[in-house]
Structure 1
Protein backbone atom coordinates (compact mmCIF):
# COMPACT_ATOMS: atom_id res chain seq x y z
CA UNK A 1 0.00 0.00 0.00
CA UNK A 2 1.14 3.54 -0.68
CA UNK A 3 1.91 5.93 2.18
CA UNK A 4 1.43 9.68 2.23
CA UNK A 5 3.29 11.75 -0.37
CA UNK A 6 3.90 15.51 -0.65
CA UNK A 7 1.72 17.18 -3.27
CA UNK A 8 2.18 20.76 -4.50
CA UNK A 9 -0.75 22.53 -6.14
CA UNK A 10 0.44 23.74 -9.58
CA UNK A 11 -1.94 26.73 -9.38
CA UNK A 12 -1.26 28.30 -5.96
CA UNK A 13 1.92 26.37 -5.02
CA UNK A 14 0.52 25.25 -1.65
CA UNK A 15 1.97 21.99 -0.35
CA UNK A 16 -0.14 19.14 1.01
CA UNK A 17 0.51 15.65 2.40
CA UNK A 18 -1.78 13.17 0.67
CA UNK A 19 -2.48 9.54 1.60
CA UNK A 20 -4.80 7.47 -0.62
CA UNK A 21 -7.92 5.71 0.62
CA UNK A 22 -7.64 1.98 1.39
CA UNK A 23 -10.15 -0.46 -0.14
CA UNK A 24 -10.82 -4.18 0.43
CA UNK A 25 -9.86 -6.62 -2.31
CA UNK A 26 -12.18 -9.59 -2.86
CA UNK A 27 -9.55 -11.77 -1.16
CA UNK A 28 -9.82 -9.60 1.97
CA UNK A 29 -6.48 -7.81 1.60
CA UNK A 30 -6.56 -3.99 1.97
CA UNK A 31 -5.27 -2.25 -1.18
CA UNK A 32 -4.75 1.37 -2.21
CA UNK A 33 -3.81 3.02 -5.52
CA UNK A 34 0.01 3.10 -5.90
CA UNK A 35 0.84 6.80 -6.19
CA UNK A 36 3.59 8.07 -8.49
CA UNK A 37 5.98 9.89 -6.19
CA UNK A 38 7.32 13.06 -7.72
CA UNK A 39 4.71 13.15 -10.50
CA UNK A 40 2.94 16.47 -11.10
CA UNK A 41 -0.73 16.51 -9.99
CA UNK A 42 -3.19 17.63 -12.65
CA UNK A 43 -6.00 20.14 -11.99
CA UNK A 44 -9.39 18.63 -12.87
CA UNK A 45 -11.12 20.87 -15.39
CA UNK A 46 -13.44 18.34 -17.02
CA UNK A 47 -14.89 15.25 -15.36
CA UNK A 48 -15.86 12.02 -17.10
CA UNK A 49 -16.96 8.76 -15.51
CA UNK A 50 -13.99 6.91 -17.04
CA UNK A 51 -11.50 9.35 -15.48
CA UNK A 52 -13.06 8.83 -12.04
CA UNK A 53 -11.68 5.26 -11.78
CA UNK A 54 -8.25 3.62 -11.92
CA UNK A 55 -7.17 0.00 -12.13
CA UNK A 56 -5.46 -1.20 -8.94
CA UNK A 57 -3.75 -4.58 -8.57
CA UNK A 58 -3.79 -6.50 -5.29
CA UNK A 59 -0.23 -7.46 -4.36
CA UNK A 60 -1.53 -10.46 -2.44
CA UNK A 61 -3.66 -12.30 -5.01
CA UNK A 62 -2.89 -10.42 -8.24
CA UNK A 63 -6.53 -9.44 -8.87
CA UNK A 64 -7.13 -6.12 -10.66
CA UNK A 65 -10.17 -4.00 -9.73
CA UNK A 66 -11.48 -0.51 -10.48
CA UNK A 67 -11.29 1.98 -7.58
CA UNK A 68 -11.86 5.76 -7.34
CA UNK A 69 -9.14 7.94 -8.86
CA UNK A 70 -7.11 9.61 -6.04
CA UNK A 71 -7.91 13.32 -5.86
CA UNK A 72 -7.11 16.15 -3.46
CA UNK A 73 -8.99 19.39 -2.87
CA UNK A 74 -6.67 22.37 -2.45
CA UNK A 75 -7.52 25.43 -0.30
CA UNK A 76 -7.45 27.57 -3.44
CA UNK A 77 -10.47 25.66 -4.79
CA UNK A 78 -8.63 23.46 -7.28
CA UNK A 79 -9.28 19.72 -7.43
CA UNK A 80 -6.03 17.87 -8.12
CA UNK A 81 -5.83 14.42 -9.69
CA UNK A 82 -2.93 12.44 -8.22
CA UNK A 83 -1.07 10.29 -10.80
CA UNK A 84 -1.19 6.52 -10.19
CA UNK A 85 1.27 3.87 -11.37
CA UNK A 86 -0.22 1.63 -14.10
CA UNK A 87 -1.41 -1.73 -12.78
CA UNK A 88 0.72 -4.72 -13.79
CA UNK A 89 -1.07 -7.83 -15.03
CA UNK A 90 -0.62 -11.41 -13.92
CA UNK A 91 -0.37 -13.08 -10.52
CA UNK A 92 1.53 -11.44 -7.68
CA UNK A 93 5.20 -12.49 -7.34
CA UNK A 94 5.53 -15.67 -5.32
CA UNK A 95 1.78 -16.40 -5.51
CA UNK A 96 0.00 -18.92 -7.70
CA UNK A 97 -3.09 -17.62 -9.55
CA UNK A 98 -6.27 -18.03 -7.55
CA UNK A 99 -8.86 -20.43 -8.95
CA UNK A 100 -11.68 -18.66 -10.75
CA UNK A 101 -14.29 -20.53 -8.75
CA UNK A 102 -14.18 -22.43 -5.47
CA UNK A 103 -17.35 -24.48 -4.92
CA UNK A 104 -19.10 -23.78 -1.61
CA UNK A 105 -21.59 -25.93 0.24
CA UNK A 106 -25.16 -25.14 -0.89
CA UNK A 107 -26.02 -23.69 2.52
CA UNK A 108 -22.86 -21.59 2.92
CA UNK A 109 -23.31 -17.82 2.49
CA UNK A 110 -21.10 -16.09 -0.08
CA UNK A 111 -18.06 -14.60 1.69
CA UNK A 112 -18.08 -10.80 1.70
CA UNK A 113 -15.33 -8.66 3.23
CA UNK A 114 -16.18 -5.68 5.41
CA UNK A 115 -17.30 -2.60 3.49
CA UNK A 116 -14.78 0.25 3.59
CA UNK A 117 -16.55 3.58 2.97
CA UNK A 118 -15.26 6.76 1.36
CA UNK A 119 -15.92 9.98 3.28
CA UNK A 120 -18.53 12.13 1.52
CA UNK A 121 -17.52 15.76 1.06
CA UNK A 122 -19.02 16.46 -2.37
CA UNK A 123 -21.89 15.25 -4.53
CA UNK A 124 -19.37 13.31 -6.60
CA UNK A 125 -18.20 11.51 -3.44
CA UNK A 126 -21.80 10.46 -2.76
CA UNK A 127 -22.13 8.88 -6.20
CA UNK A 128 -18.80 7.07 -5.77
CA UNK A 129 -19.87 5.82 -2.33
CA UNK A 130 -23.05 4.35 -3.81
CA UNK A 131 -21.10 2.73 -6.67
CA UNK A 132 -18.60 1.18 -4.24
CA UNK A 133 -21.43 -0.15 -2.10
CA UNK A 134 -23.18 -1.71 -5.09
CA UNK A 135 -19.91 -3.38 -6.07
CA UNK A 136 -19.57 -4.64 -2.49
CA UNK A 137 -23.06 -6.14 -2.82
CA UNK A 138 -21.84 -8.08 -5.85
CA UNK A 139 -22.84 -6.00 -8.88
CA UNK A 140 -20.22 -5.78 -11.64
CA UNK A 141 -19.43 -3.28 -14.41
CA UNK A 142 -21.16 -0.37 -12.69
CA UNK A 143 -21.33 2.77 -14.85
CA UNK A 144 -23.35 5.93 -15.30
CA UNK A 145 -26.62 5.58 -17.16
CA UNK A 146 -26.38 7.15 -20.63
CA UNK A 147 -29.81 8.75 -20.32
CA UNK A 148 -29.71 11.60 -17.82
CA UNK A 149 -32.33 11.48 -15.08
CA UNK A 150 -34.51 14.49 -14.26
CA UNK A 151 -32.66 14.69 -10.93
CA UNK A 152 -29.80 12.87 -9.30
CA UNK A 153 -27.41 10.47 -11.01
CA UNK A 154 -28.32 7.12 -12.55
CA UNK A 155 -26.05 4.09 -12.19
CA UNK A 156 -26.53 0.85 -14.12
CA UNK A 157 -25.00 -2.61 -14.12
CA UNK A 158 -26.15 -5.97 -15.49
CA UNK A 159 -29.44 -6.62 -13.70
CA UNK A 160 -29.38 -3.32 -11.80
CA UNK A 161 -30.68 0.22 -12.12
CA UNK A 162 -29.86 2.60 -9.26
CA UNK A 163 -30.64 6.25 -8.64
CA UNK A 164 -28.41 8.42 -6.44
CA UNK A 165 -29.62 11.78 -5.09
CA UNK A 166 -26.43 13.48 -3.85
CA UNK A 167 -28.02 16.82 -2.94
CA UNK A 168 -29.93 18.09 0.09
CA UNK A 169 -33.23 17.35 -1.67
CA UNK A 170 -35.25 14.41 -0.34
CA UNK A 171 -36.28 11.89 -2.98
CA UNK A 172 -39.96 12.16 -3.86
CA UNK A 173 -42.75 9.77 -4.77
CA UNK A 174 -42.21 10.60 -8.44
CA UNK A 175 -38.49 9.76 -8.16
CA UNK A 176 -39.30 6.32 -6.75
CA UNK A 177 -41.87 5.55 -9.42
CA UNK A 178 -39.54 6.68 -12.23
CA UNK A 179 -36.74 4.42 -11.02
CA UNK A 180 -39.10 1.49 -10.59
CA UNK A 181 -40.61 1.91 -14.08
CA UNK A 182 -37.17 2.23 -15.70
CA UNK A 183 -36.00 -0.95 -13.95
CA UNK A 184 -39.20 -2.75 -14.91
CA UNK A 185 -38.64 -1.80 -18.54
CA UNK A 186 -35.22 -3.52 -18.67
CA UNK A 187 -35.92 -6.29 -16.13
CA UNK A 188 -33.46 -4.89 -13.58
CA UNK A 189 -33.45 -4.53 -9.81
CA UNK A 190 -34.21 -0.91 -8.78
CA UNK A 191 -32.26 0.63 -5.88
CA UNK A 192 -32.21 4.19 -4.52
CA UNK A 193 -29.58 6.10 -2.53
CA UNK A 194 -30.23 9.52 -1.04
CA UNK A 195 -28.12 11.90 1.02
CA UNK A 196 -31.14 13.71 2.47
CA UNK A 197 -33.58 10.81 2.77
CA UNK A 198 -37.07 10.33 1.36
CA UNK A 199 -40.49 11.91 1.71
CA UNK A 200 -43.08 9.89 3.63
CA UNK A 201 -45.12 9.02 0.53
CA UNK A 202 -41.92 8.01 -1.31
CA UNK A 203 -41.02 5.57 1.48
CA UNK A 204 -44.53 4.13 1.53
CA UNK A 205 -44.50 3.65 -2.24
CA UNK A 206 -41.06 2.00 -2.16
CA UNK A 207 -42.27 -0.42 0.51
CA UNK A 208 -45.24 -1.35 -1.67
CA UNK A 209 -42.97 -1.90 -4.69
CA UNK A 210 -40.32 -3.79 -2.65
CA UNK A 211 -37.77 -1.21 -3.80
CA UNK A 212 -34.64 -1.00 -1.59
CA UNK A 213 -33.92 2.44 -0.13
CA UNK A 214 -30.61 3.55 1.38
CA UNK A 215 -29.54 6.78 3.06
CA UNK A 216 -25.92 7.89 2.65
CA UNK A 217 -24.31 9.21 5.81
CA UNK A 218 -21.26 11.46 5.61
CA UNK A 219 -18.90 8.57 6.39
CA UNK A 220 -19.93 7.11 3.03
CA UNK A 221 -21.71 4.11 4.51
CA UNK A 222 -25.20 3.50 3.06
CA UNK A 223 -27.79 2.73 5.73
CA UNK A 224 -30.87 0.63 4.87
CA UNK A 225 -34.18 2.47 5.23
CA UNK A 226 -36.69 -0.32 4.58
CA UNK A 227 -36.97 -4.11 4.69
CA UNK A 228 -36.23 -4.58 0.93
CA UNK A 229 -32.88 -2.86 1.57
CA UNK A 230 -32.19 -5.21 4.49
CA UNK A 231 -32.98 -8.17 2.24
CA UNK A 232 -30.67 -6.91 -0.50
CA UNK A 233 -27.82 -6.63 2.02
CA UNK A 234 -28.51 -10.18 3.16
CA UNK A 235 -28.69 -11.77 -0.29
CA UNK A 236 -26.40 -9.53 -2.34
CA UNK A 237 -26.58 -9.35 -6.13
Structure 2
Protein backbone atom coordinates (compact mmCIF):
# COMPACT_ATOMS: atom_id res chain seq x y z
CA UNK A 1 0.00 0.00 0.00
CA UNK A 2 1.05 3.62 -0.50
CA UNK A 3 2.94 5.04 2.47
CA UNK A 4 1.17 7.77 4.43
CA UNK A 5 2.79 9.92 7.12
CA UNK A 6 1.69 12.92 9.23
CA UNK A 7 3.18 16.24 8.08
CA UNK A 8 2.91 19.43 10.17
CA UNK A 9 3.39 22.84 8.57
CA UNK A 10 5.87 24.86 10.67
CA UNK A 11 4.30 28.13 9.51
CA UNK A 12 0.62 27.62 10.41
CA UNK A 13 0.93 24.43 12.52
CA UNK A 14 -1.72 22.71 10.44
CA UNK A 15 -1.26 18.92 10.26
CA UNK A 16 -1.72 16.98 7.03
CA UNK A 17 -1.73 13.32 6.04
CA UNK A 18 0.70 12.87 3.14
CA UNK A 19 0.82 9.87 0.81
CA UNK A 20 4.00 9.38 -1.19
CA UNK A 21 3.31 9.34 -4.96
CA UNK A 22 4.63 6.50 -7.10
CA UNK A 23 6.37 6.74 -10.48
CA UNK A 24 7.06 4.01 -13.04
CA UNK A 25 10.49 2.37 -13.19
CA UNK A 26 11.66 1.41 -16.68
CA UNK A 27 10.76 -2.18 -15.73
CA UNK A 28 7.15 -1.06 -15.25
CA UNK A 29 6.99 -1.41 -11.46
CA UNK A 30 5.69 1.61 -9.50
CA UNK A 31 8.32 3.13 -7.20
CA UNK A 32 7.98 5.73 -4.43
CA UNK A 33 10.60 7.34 -2.21
CA UNK A 34 10.44 5.91 1.35
CA UNK A 35 9.38 8.62 3.80
CA UNK A 36 11.04 9.41 7.13
CA UNK A 37 8.26 9.92 9.68
CA UNK A 38 10.76 10.88 12.41
CA UNK A 39 11.95 14.11 10.78
CA UNK A 40 9.94 17.28 10.27
CA UNK A 41 9.00 18.70 6.87
CA UNK A 42 10.86 21.88 5.85
CA UNK A 43 9.61 24.86 3.82
CA UNK A 44 11.01 25.29 0.31
CA UNK A 45 12.55 28.79 0.34
CA UNK A 46 14.21 28.60 -3.09
CA UNK A 47 14.67 25.83 -5.61
CA UNK A 48 17.91 24.15 -6.62
CA UNK A 49 17.59 21.51 -9.34
CA UNK A 50 19.69 18.91 -7.51
CA UNK A 51 17.58 19.28 -4.34
CA UNK A 52 14.36 18.48 -6.21
CA UNK A 53 15.42 14.87 -6.87
CA UNK A 54 16.22 11.83 -4.75
CA UNK A 55 17.87 8.51 -5.66
CA UNK A 56 15.61 5.49 -5.14
CA UNK A 57 16.27 1.83 -5.92
CA UNK A 58 13.41 -0.19 -7.43
CA UNK A 59 12.43 -3.17 -5.30
CA UNK A 60 11.47 -5.18 -8.39
CA UNK A 61 14.56 -4.88 -10.63
CA UNK A 62 17.16 -3.14 -8.44
CA UNK A 63 17.67 -0.18 -10.80
CA UNK A 64 18.56 3.14 -9.19
CA UNK A 65 16.71 6.15 -10.56
CA UNK A 66 16.32 9.84 -9.83
CA UNK A 67 12.76 10.64 -8.77
CA UNK A 68 11.04 13.90 -7.71
CA UNK A 69 11.55 14.65 -4.01
CA UNK A 70 8.19 14.51 -2.16
CA UNK A 71 6.52 17.88 -1.58
CA UNK A 72 3.23 19.05 -0.11
CA UNK A 73 1.49 22.37 -0.65
CA UNK A 74 -0.11 23.73 2.54
CA UNK A 75 -3.27 25.91 2.16
CA UNK A 76 -1.40 28.69 3.99
CA UNK A 77 0.82 29.02 0.90
CA UNK A 78 3.95 27.26 2.14
CA UNK A 79 5.43 24.42 0.06
CA UNK A 80 6.80 21.70 2.33
CA UNK A 81 9.57 19.25 1.45
CA UNK A 82 8.72 15.90 3.03
CA UNK A 83 11.82 14.13 4.42
CA UNK A 84 12.97 10.91 2.76
CA UNK A 85 14.69 8.04 4.56
CA UNK A 86 18.49 8.18 4.32
CA UNK A 87 20.67 5.55 2.70
CA UNK A 88 20.25 3.49 -0.46
CA UNK A 89 16.46 3.69 -0.53
CA UNK A 90 14.68 0.55 -1.71
CA UNK A 91 11.11 1.29 -2.62
CA UNK A 92 8.17 -0.20 -4.43
CA UNK A 93 4.40 0.12 -4.39
CA UNK A 94 1.36 -1.68 -5.65
CA UNK A 95 -0.52 -0.48 -8.70
CA UNK A 96 -2.90 1.64 -6.61
CA UNK A 97 -0.46 4.51 -6.95
CA UNK A 98 -1.33 8.12 -7.69
CA UNK A 99 0.38 8.23 -11.08
CA UNK A 100 -1.79 8.46 -14.17
CA UNK A 101 -1.82 5.45 -16.52
CA UNK A 102 -1.54 5.94 -20.25
CA UNK A 103 -2.71 3.56 -23.01
CA UNK A 104 -0.78 0.28 -23.27
CA UNK A 105 2.65 0.59 -24.84
CA UNK A 106 3.64 -1.27 -28.02
CA UNK A 107 6.35 -3.89 -28.49
CA UNK A 108 6.44 -5.23 -24.95
CA UNK A 109 7.09 -1.91 -23.21
CA UNK A 110 5.21 -1.30 -19.94
CA UNK A 111 2.45 1.35 -20.05
CA UNK A 112 3.64 4.88 -19.42
CA UNK A 113 2.52 6.34 -16.10
CA UNK A 114 2.87 10.02 -15.42
CA UNK A 115 1.97 12.76 -12.95
CA UNK A 116 -0.81 15.31 -13.13
CA UNK A 117 0.50 18.69 -14.29
CA UNK A 118 -0.28 21.55 -11.90
CA UNK A 119 3.03 23.44 -12.00
CA UNK A 120 6.01 23.95 -14.30
CA UNK A 121 7.98 21.48 -12.17
CA UNK A 122 5.26 18.87 -12.80
CA UNK A 123 5.73 19.39 -16.55
CA UNK A 124 9.47 18.80 -16.20
CA UNK A 125 8.87 15.71 -14.06
CA UNK A 126 6.40 14.26 -16.59
CA UNK A 127 8.87 14.85 -19.42
CA UNK A 128 11.77 13.26 -17.51
CA UNK A 129 9.63 10.20 -16.81
CA UNK A 130 8.62 9.99 -20.47
CA UNK A 131 12.23 10.22 -21.66
CA UNK A 132 13.11 7.30 -19.39
CA UNK A 133 10.11 5.38 -20.70
CA UNK A 134 11.33 5.94 -24.24
CA UNK A 135 14.64 4.39 -23.18
CA UNK A 136 16.94 7.40 -22.77
CA UNK A 137 19.62 7.02 -20.10
CA UNK A 138 20.87 9.42 -17.44
CA UNK A 139 18.11 12.02 -17.71
CA UNK A 140 19.27 15.26 -16.07
CA UNK A 141 19.03 19.06 -16.28
CA UNK A 142 20.68 20.33 -19.45
CA UNK A 143 23.96 22.26 -19.15
CA UNK A 144 22.74 25.00 -21.51
CA UNK A 145 19.64 26.95 -20.56
CA UNK A 146 17.23 27.42 -23.50
CA UNK A 147 15.85 30.88 -24.36
CA UNK A 148 12.47 29.75 -23.04
CA UNK A 149 11.29 26.82 -20.97
CA UNK A 150 13.52 24.26 -19.26
CA UNK A 151 16.16 22.05 -20.84
CA UNK A 152 16.66 18.36 -20.11
CA UNK A 153 19.42 16.13 -21.45
CA UNK A 154 20.12 12.42 -21.61
CA UNK A 155 22.58 10.22 -23.44
CA UNK A 156 22.28 11.23 -27.10
CA UNK A 157 19.42 13.71 -26.76
CA UNK A 158 18.45 17.18 -25.56
CA UNK A 159 14.84 18.03 -24.81
CA UNK A 160 13.03 21.29 -24.16
CA UNK A 161 10.05 21.51 -21.81
CA UNK A 162 7.88 24.58 -22.41
CA UNK A 163 5.20 25.14 -19.71
CA UNK A 164 4.24 28.57 -21.11
CA UNK A 165 0.64 29.42 -21.96
CA UNK A 166 1.63 30.53 -25.47
CA UNK A 167 2.41 28.08 -28.31
CA UNK A 168 6.08 27.33 -28.96
CA UNK A 169 7.48 29.56 -31.71
CA UNK A 170 9.66 28.99 -34.76
CA UNK A 171 12.59 30.57 -32.88
CA UNK A 172 12.11 28.18 -29.94
CA UNK A 173 12.30 25.16 -32.22
CA UNK A 174 15.28 26.43 -34.21
CA UNK A 175 17.25 27.29 -31.04
CA UNK A 176 16.68 23.76 -29.74
CA UNK A 177 17.83 22.29 -33.05
CA UNK A 178 20.99 24.42 -33.07
CA UNK A 179 21.79 23.36 -29.49
CA UNK A 180 21.38 19.71 -30.45
CA UNK A 181 23.62 20.20 -33.49
CA UNK A 182 26.45 21.64 -31.37
CA UNK A 183 26.22 18.62 -29.04
CA UNK A 184 25.84 16.03 -31.84
CA UNK A 185 22.58 14.92 -30.25
CA UNK A 186 18.96 14.37 -31.22
CA UNK A 187 16.33 16.78 -29.89
CA UNK A 188 12.71 16.64 -28.71
CA UNK A 189 10.28 19.39 -27.81
CA UNK A 190 7.52 19.15 -25.17
CA UNK A 191 4.99 21.99 -24.97
CA UNK A 192 1.91 22.51 -22.81
CA UNK A 193 0.28 25.04 -25.18
CA UNK A 194 1.17 23.45 -28.53
CA UNK A 195 3.05 24.96 -31.47
CA UNK A 196 2.71 27.82 -33.93
CA UNK A 197 2.10 26.71 -37.53
CA UNK A 198 5.54 27.77 -38.76
CA UNK A 199 7.17 25.98 -35.81
CA UNK A 200 5.31 22.79 -36.76
CA UNK A 201 6.37 23.08 -40.40
CA UNK A 202 10.02 23.71 -39.53
CA UNK A 203 10.07 20.80 -37.08
CA UNK A 204 8.69 18.48 -39.73
CA UNK A 205 11.41 19.59 -42.15
CA UNK A 206 14.15 19.10 -39.54
CA UNK A 207 12.74 15.83 -38.20
CA UNK A 208 12.23 17.13 -34.65
CA UNK A 209 9.68 15.13 -32.64
CA UNK A 210 7.04 17.41 -31.12
CA UNK A 211 4.88 16.46 -28.13
CA UNK A 212 2.06 18.25 -26.34
CA UNK A 213 1.74 17.68 -22.59
CA UNK A 214 -1.88 17.36 -21.52
CA UNK A 215 -2.91 18.01 -17.92
CA UNK A 216 -2.62 14.32 -17.02
CA UNK A 217 1.10 14.63 -17.78
CA UNK A 218 0.93 12.31 -20.77
CA UNK A 219 2.96 13.53 -23.79
CA UNK A 220 0.92 13.33 -27.00
CA UNK A 221 2.87 13.13 -30.29
CA UNK A 222 1.75 15.77 -32.78
CA UNK A 223 3.98 15.12 -35.81
CA UNK A 224 5.33 12.12 -37.70
CA UNK A 225 8.78 11.99 -36.00
CA UNK A 226 7.10 12.04 -32.59
CA UNK A 227 4.66 9.27 -33.54
CA UNK A 228 7.55 7.12 -34.77
CA UNK A 229 9.56 7.65 -31.58
CA UNK A 230 6.58 6.96 -29.32
CA UNK A 231 5.89 3.71 -31.20
CA UNK A 232 9.42 2.28 -31.07
CA UNK A 233 11.37 4.11 -28.35
CA UNK A 234 14.98 5.12 -28.73
CA UNK A 235 17.63 2.83 -30.16
CA UNK A 236 19.78 3.81 -27.17
CA UNK A 237 17.51 1.94 -24.78
CA UNK A 238 18.88 1.27 -21.31
CA UNK A 239 19.53 -2.41 -20.50
Report the TM-score range of the alignment, normalised by the length of the smaller protein: 0.7 to 0.9
Paired residue for 1:125?
122
- Structure number with greater Rg is 1
Change (3 A) 1:61 1:161: closer
* Aligned pairs for 1:131-150 within 5 A: 131-150=128-147
Paired residue for 1:73?
73
Shift of 1:89: 7.4
Q: Distance in 1 between matches of 2:218 and 2:3?
A: 24
TM-score normalised to structure 2 length? 0.86
Shift of 1:235: 2.3
Greater shift in the superposed pair: 55-64 or 180-189: 55-64
- Higher RCO by CA contacts (8 Å cutoff, separation 6 or greater): 2
Shift of 1:223: 0.7
Q: Distance in 1 between matches of 2:126 and 2:28?
A: 19
* Alpha-carbon RMSD: 1.9
Paired residue for 1:166?
163
Maintained 8 Å contact 1:154/1:161 = yes
Shift of 1:87: 4.4
Task: Say whether 1:156 aligns with 2:153.
Answer: yes
TM-score normalised to structure 1 length? 0.87
Change (3 A) 1:216 1:89: closer
Paired residue for 1:201?
198
* Aligned pairs for 1:49-128 within 5 A: 49-88=49-88, 111-128=108-125
Which 5+ residue runs of structure 1 have no aligned equivalent? Answer: 93-108
Maintained 8 Å contact 1:173/1:199 = yes
Maintained 8 Å contact 1:62/1:89 = no
